[in-house]
Homo-oligomer: A and B are copies of this chain.
Amino acid sequence: MKNYITHSEWQVVEEGFVPNYNRISESLFSIANGHTGQRANFEENYSGDSLQGNYMAGVYYPDKTRVGWWKNGYPEYFAKILNAANWIGLRIRLDGEELDLAKADVADFVRVLDMRTALLTRKFTATMPSGKKIEVVAERFLSIADKEIGAIRYRLKSINFTGALGLCSYIDGDIRNEDSNYDEKFWTETDKFTTENQAFLCMETKKTSFFVCHGVQTHLYVNGAMVNAARHPYQDEKFVANTFELPLVAGDEICIEKYMAVNSSLYQPQDELMDHVKAKLAEAVASGFDKLFEAHSQKWAKRWQTADIMVQGDVAAQQGIRFNIFQLMQTYSGDDERLNIGPKGFTGEKYGGVTYWDTEAYCLPFFMATAPQLIAKNLLLYRHKHLLKAIENAAKLGFTGGAALYPMVTINGEECHNEWEITFEEIHRNGAIAYAIYNYVNYTGDRDYLAPYGFEVLLGISRFWAQRVNWSDDKNAYVMLGVTGPNEYENNVNNNFHTNRMAVWTLKYTMEVIDFVKKEHPYLFSELTRKWAFNEQGETEQWRDIVENMHFPYDSKREIFLQQDGFLDKEIIPAADLDPAERPIHQNWSWDRILRSCYIKQADTLQSFYWFRHDFDQETLRRHFDFYEPITVHESSLSSCIHAILAARIGREEKAYEMYLRTARLDLDDYNNDTEDGLHVTSMGGTWLAFVETFGGLDVKDGQLLLNPFLPKSWEAFAFRINFRGAHLEIRMGSEFKITNHSELAVDVVVWGEQHQLKENGELVLAKKSVVQ
Instruction: Look across to chain B and name the residue whose beta carbon is closest to the beta carbon of A470.
Output: B571
Is A523 engaged at the interface, CB distance under 8 Å to the other chain? Answer: no
Q: Which of A573-624 contact B (CB under 8 A)?
A: 586-596
Is A425 engaged at the interface, CB distance under 8 Å to the other chain? Answer: yes
Known: A66-B67, A474-B568, A569-B475. A72 touches B596 (CB 8 A): no
Is A418 engaged at the interface, CB distance under 8 Å to the other chain? Answer: yes
Instruction: Look across to chain B and name the residue whose beta carbon is closest to the beta carbon of A582.
Output: B398
Is A372 engaged at the interface, CB distance under 8 Å to the other chain? Answer: no
Is A45 engaged at the interface, CB distance under 8 Å to the other chain? Answer: no
Is A301 engaged at the interface, CB distance under 8 Å to the other chain? Answer: no
25 A–B contacts, CB within 8 A, in A order: A66-B66, A66-B67, A67-B68, A68-B68, A69-B418, A69-B419, A72-B586, A72-B589, A73-B589, A73-B590, A397-B592, A397-B593, A398-B589, A420-B592, A424-B590, A470-B570, A470-B571, A472-B568, A473-B568, A482-B592, A482-B595, A482-B596, A491-B492, A492-B493, A494-B569
A 419-459 binary contact with B (CB < 8 Å = 1; else 0): 11000110000000000000000000000000000000000
CB pair A418–B492 under 8 Å, yes or no, is no
Instruction: Look across to chain B and name the residue whose beta carbon is closest to the beta carbon of A595.
Output: B482
Q: Which among B73, B566, B596 is the interface contact of A592 at CB below 8 angstroms? A: B73
9 shortest interchain CB distances as A-B pairs: A73-B590, A424-B592, A482-B596, A474-B568, A71-B591, A481-B596, A472-B569, A68-B418, A397-B590
A492-B493, A492-B595 are known contacts; what are 19 more A-B pairs with Cβ within 8 Å? Answer: A66-B67, A66-B68, A68-B68, A68-B418, A72-B588, A72-B590, A73-B590, A73-B592, A74-B591, A398-B589, A420-B592, A470-B569, A471-B571, A472-B568, A475-B569, A479-B569, A492-B492, A494-B569, A565-B566
| CA–CA, A589 and B588, complex, Å | 35
- Residues on B with C-beta less than 8 A from A209 are none
Q: Which of A473-496 contact B (CB under 8 A)?
A: 473-475, 479, 481-482, 491-495
CB pair B591–A73 under 8 Å, yes or no, is yes
Output the least CB separation between A554 and chain B (Å): 12
Instruction: Look across to chain B and name the residue whose beta carbon is closest to the beta carbon of A478.
Output: B569
- Residues on B with C-beta less than 8 A from A398 are 589-590, 593
- Residues on B with C-beta less than 8 A from A185 are none
| CA–CA, A187 and B182, complex, Å | 21
Output the least CB separation between A740 and chain B (Å): 48
Instruction: Look across to chain B and name the residue whose beta carbon is closest to the beta carbon of A481.
Output: B596
- Residues on B with C-beta less than 8 A from A481 are 566, 569-570, 596
- Residues on B with C-beta less than 8 A from A494 are 566, 569
CB pair B591–A72 under 8 Å, yes or no, is yes
Instruction: Look across to chain B and name the residue whose beta carbon is closest to the beta carbon of A480.
Output: B596
Instruction: Look across to chain B and name the residue whose beta carbon is closest to the beta carbon of A585.
Output: B72
Is A544 engaged at the interface, CB distance under 8 Å to the other chain? Answer: no
Q: Which of A50-75 contact B (CB under 8 A)?
A: 65-69, 71-74
Is A207 engaged at the interface, CB distance under 8 Å to the other chain? Answer: no
| CA–CA, A420 and B471, complex, Å | 30
Is A769 engaged at the interface, CB distance under 8 Å to the other chain? Answer: no
CB pair B569–A474 under 8 Å, yes or no, is yes
Output the least CB separation between A439 and chain B (Å): 28
- Residues on B with C-beta less than 8 A from A571 are 470-471
Output the least CB separation between A560 and chain B (Å): 13
Output the least CB separation between A89 and chain B (Å): 31
| CA–CA, A471 and B425, complex, Å | 28
| CA–CA, A420 and B73, complex, Å | 18
- Residues on B with C-beta less than 8 A from A479 are 569
Instruction: Look across to chain B and name the residue whose beta carbon is closest to the beta carbon of A183.
Output: B182
- Residues on B with C-beta less than 8 A from A66 are 66-68
CB pair B568–A565 under 8 Å, yes or no, is no
- Residues on B with C-beta less than 8 A from A291 are none
Q: Which among B396, B475, B588 is the interface contact of A590 at CB below 8 angstroms? A: B396
Number of this chain's copies in the assembly equals: 2
| CA–CA, A475 and B73, complex, Å | 37
Q: Which among B474, B566, B586, B591 is the interface contact of A424 at CB below 8 angstroms? A: B591
Q: Which among B397, B420, B565, B593 is the interface contact of A565 at CB below 8 angstroms? A: B565
Output the least CB separation between A92 and chain B (Å): 38
Instruction: Look across to chain B and name the residue whose beta carbon is closest to the beta carbon of A562.
Output: B474
Q: Which of A365-411 contact B (CB under 8 A)?
A: 396-398
- Residues on B with C-beta less than 8 A from A593 are 73, 397-398
Known: A65-B68, A66-B66, A470-B571. A425 touches B592 (CB 8 A): yes
| CA–CA, A466 and B167, complex, Å | 69
Output the least CB separation between A69 and chain B (Å): 5
Q: Which of A530-577 contact B (CB under 8 A)?
A: 555, 565-566, 568-571
Known: A68-B65, A481-B596. A591 touches B420 (CB 8 A): yes
| CA–CA, A164 and B592, complex, Å | 66
- Residues on B with C-beta less than 8 A from A65 are 68
| CA–CA, A479 and B593, complex, Å | 14
Output the least CB separation between A75 and chain B (Å): 11
Instruction: Look across to chain B and name the residue whose beta carbon is closest to the beta carbon of A571.
Output: B470
| CA–CA, A472 and B598, complex, Å | 12
| CA–CA, A425 and B590, complex, Å | 11
- Residues on B with C-beta less than 8 A from A69 are 418-419
Q: Which of A481-525 contact B (CB under 8 A)?
A: 481-482, 491-495
Residue in A472, A590, A594 whose Cβ sees the most chain B Cβ within 10 Å: A590
| CA–CA, A494 and B568, complex, Å | 12
- Residues on B with C-beta less than 8 A from A592 are 73, 397, 420, 424-425, 482
| CA–CA, A419 and B491, complex, Å | 13
Residue in A470, A568, A592 whose Cβ sees the most chain B Cβ within 10 Å: A592
Instruction: Look across to chain B and name the residue whose beta carbon is closest to the beta carbon of A66.
Output: B68
| CA–CA, A472 and B593, complex, Å | 16
Instruction: Look across to chain B and name the residue whose beta carbon is closest to the beta carbon of A572.
Output: B473
| CA–CA, A591 and B595, complex, Å | 19
Residue in A66, A470, A471, A566 whose Cβ sees the most chain B Cβ within 10 Å: A566
Instruction: Look across to chain B and name the residue whose beta carbon is closest to the beta carbon of A594.
Output: B72
A 70-84 binary contact with B (CB < 8 Å = 1; else 0): 011110001000000
- Residues on B with C-beta less than 8 A from A590 are 71-73, 396-398, 424
Output the least CB separation between A307 and chain B (Å): 35
- Residues on B with C-beta less than 8 A from A491 are 491-492
- Residues on B with C-beta less than 8 A from A493 are 492
| CA–CA, A570 and B470, complex, Å | 8
Output the least CB separation between A472 and chain B (Å): 4
| CA–CA, A275 and B424, complex, Å | 58
Known: A396-B590, A570-B481. A68 touches B419 (CB 8 A): yes
| CA–CA, A598 and B71, complex, Å | 18
| CA–CA, A596 and B473, complex, Å | 15
| CA–CA, A481 and B490, complex, Å | 11
Output the least CB separation between A246 and chain B (Å): 48
